[in-house]
Amino acid sequence: MTARNALEESMNILSECYQSDKRKVYHAQKYAEFALSYWNIYSDNRYIEQAFKWLNELIKNEDSMSRKTRDLYGKLKKII
């Protein structure tokens, strides 16, 4: 398995966790971090939009107003 395949598998797992777990903030933040890493390494934005959407929902619903969430959101927004 290549590093890229491992990262893609991680993204799929995080997506499943976000959908089924109550710790949405944690999974959305990790997904965003990995999406940014994927973008930086492969110049591929396939995960950026989903990460942005989830963080936007968390901020909009005031589920997470943490500095980490806002920083990740800002980084994603620059790419979109």
pLDDT at residue 22, as a whole number = 84
DSSP annotation of 63 reads: S
Q: Mind listing the pLDDT tens digit for each residue in 18-29?
A: 999 889 999 999
Q: Which two tokens stand for residue 25?
A: 């903030």
Q: Using an 8 Å Cβ cutoff, are 58 and 72 in contact?
A: no
Residue entry with tokens 């396939």: 46
- Measured between alpha carbons, how far apart are the two ends of the chain, in Å? 29
Q: Mind listing the pLDDT tens digit for each residue in 43-69?
A: 999 999 999 999 999 999 988 889 999
Instruction: Note the pTM of the prediction, 2 decimals.
Output: 0.92
38: nearest Cα among 7, 78, 6: 7
Alpha helices in 21-66 (DSSP H): 24-42, 48-60
